C-alpha cells in the first residue's frame, strides 16, 4: 500500500510539470520584454526559477559540461538539477493549474514566442548541432501544449487517475525522459550561448545530440499516452489484448 501511495504521488507530481517553462528563464538574459510578459503572468515565480537555474549553472550544469565521464555522471547530475528546481516548479504549477482556458492559451503563446526567440539565437550561432537543440526545444513545447490540453480537458485528479490505471509505466518513463531532456538541453544551450565560459566541447556536443534522442523518446511516449487516454482507443486495445490472451 505504501509503495502504491508513493507511486501515485510521484505520478501526480510528474503529470503537472511544465518542461519548457524553466528553459525560458534564459530568455530574460536576451529578451527583457518577453521576460516581463512572463513575469506579469506568473509573478515572481519566474524569478525563483531563474535563480535556481543560475545556481545550477555553477553546479550541476558546470559539472555536466566539464566532467570526463558524462555517460556515468549525467543521470545523477540530472536528478540533482531536478531537485534544485522542484520547489519553484511546484509554485509554478500551483499558479498555472487553476488558470482559465483563455489564460492558459495566452501562456502557451508566450511559450511559443519565447521558443521562436530561443531557436533563432541557437541557429544564429551556426553551431553544427543547432537543429538537435531546436528539436529538443520543440519537443518540450509539444509536451507542455499536450499537458495543458489534457489538464484543461480532464483536470489534474482525473488525468492522474486515468494514467495510473492505463499507463503508469509509460508515464513514469515519460517523466524520466522529460527530466533528462530538460537538463541536457539547458546544459548544452548554456554553453552554446556563452552563459558558461569553461566547458568541454565534446560534452556540449554530446548533450546537444542527447537532446534530440531524449526528445524523440518524449514524443513517442506522448503519442502512446494520447492513445491510452482516448476512451474509444483504449477499449479497442483492451479487446485486442483479451483476444491475444485467448489465442
Q: pLDDT at position 131, please?
A: 98
Q: pLDDT at position 15, please?
A: 46
* Residue 89 neighbours by CB under 8 Å, 6+ apart: 17, 18, 22, 49
* Exposure on the CB side of residue 161, measured as CA atoms within 13 A: 5
Q: Is residue 169 included in any domain, yes or no?
A: yes
Q: Is residue 14 included in any domain, yes or no?
A: yes
Q: pLDDT at position 14, please?
A: 45
Q: Which structural domain range is residue 180 located in?
A: 2-239
For the four alpha carbons of 133, 138, 140 and 143, in that order, the dihedral sign comes to negative
Q: Looking at the chain, list the stretches that DSSP marks H as alpha helix, in order from N- to C-terminal side.
A: 2-14, 20-23, 27-30, 32-42, 45-57, 60-66, 70-96, 101-124, 130-166, 168-192, 201-229, 231-246
What integer best gives the mean pLDDT of the chain? Answer: 82
* Residue 119 neighbours by CB under 8 Å, 6+ apart: 134, 137, 138
Q: Is residue 104 included in any domain, yes or no?
A: yes
**Sequential DSSP letters for 61-77:** HHHHHH-S-HHHHHHHH
Q: Is residue 163 included in any domain, yes or no?
A: yes
Q: Is residue 244 included in any domain, yes or no?
A: no
- Are 228 and 170 within 8 A, CB to CB? yes
Q: pLDDT at position 31, please?
A: 59
Q: Is residue 245 included in any domain, yes or no?
A: no
Question: What cell does 140 get?
Answer: 518540450
Q: pLDDT at position 8, please?
A: 42
Question: What cell does 186 get?
Answer: 539547458
Q: Is residue 247 included in any domain, yes or no?
A: no
Domain tally for the chain?
A: 1
Q: pLDDT at position 197, please?
A: 87
User: Which residue numbers in the chain have pLDDT < 70?
Assistant: 1-35, 240-247
> What does pTM read for this prediction?
0.85
Question: What cell does 169 get?
Answer: 509505466
* Distances in whole angstroms, Cα of residue 192 to Cα of each of 38, 44, 198: 24, 27, 11
Q: Is residue 214 included in any domain, yes or no?
A: yes
Q: Strand, coil or helix: what is 230?
A: coil
Q: What is the pLDDT of residues 174-228, one digit of tens each?
A: 989 999 999 999 999 999 988 888 999 999 999 999 999 999 999 999 999 999 8
Amino acid at each position: 500500500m505504501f509503495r502504491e501511495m508513493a507511486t501515485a504521488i510521484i505520478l501526480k507530481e510528474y503529470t503537472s510539470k511544465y518542461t519548457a517553462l524553466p528553459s525560458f528563464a534564459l530568455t530574460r538574459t536576451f529578451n527583457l520584454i518577453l521576460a516581463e510578459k512572463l513575469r506579469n503572468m506568473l509573478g515572481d515565480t519566474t524569478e525563483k526559477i531563474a535563480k535556481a537555474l543560475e545556481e545550477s549553472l555553477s553546479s550541476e550544469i558546470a559539472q555536466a559540461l566539464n566532467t570526463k565521464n558524462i555517460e556515468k555522471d549525467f543521470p545523477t547530475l540530472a536528478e540533482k538539477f531536478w531537485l534544485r528546481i522542484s520547489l519553484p516548479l511546484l509554485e509554478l504549477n500551483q499558479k498555472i493549474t487553476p488558470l482559465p482556458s483563455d489564460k492558459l492559451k495566452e501562456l502557451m503563446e508566450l511559450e511559443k514566442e519565447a521558443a521562436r526567440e530561443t531557436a533563432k539565437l541557437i541557429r544564429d550561432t551556426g553551431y553544427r548541432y543547432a537543429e538537435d537543440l531546436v528539436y529538443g526545444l520543440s519537443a518540450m513545447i509539444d509536451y507542455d501544449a499536450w499537458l495543458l490540453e489534457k489538464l484543461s480537458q480532464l483536470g489534474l485528479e482525473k488525468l492522474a487517475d486515468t494514467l495510473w490505471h492505463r499507463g503508469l509505466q509509460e508515464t513514469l518513463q515519460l517523466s524520466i525522459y522529460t527530466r533528462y531532456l530538460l537538463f541536457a538541453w539547458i546544459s548544452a544551450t548554456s554553453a552554446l550561448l556563452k552563459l558558461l565560459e569553461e566547458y568541454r566541447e565534446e560534452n556540449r556536443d554530446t548533450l546537444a545530440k542527447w537532446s534530440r534522442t531524449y526528445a524523440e523518446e518524449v514524443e513517442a511516449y506522448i503519442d502512446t499516452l494520447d492513445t491510452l487516454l482516448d476512451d474509444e482507443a483504449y477499449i479497442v486495445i483492451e479487446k485486442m489484448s483479451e483476444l491475444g490472451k485467448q489465442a
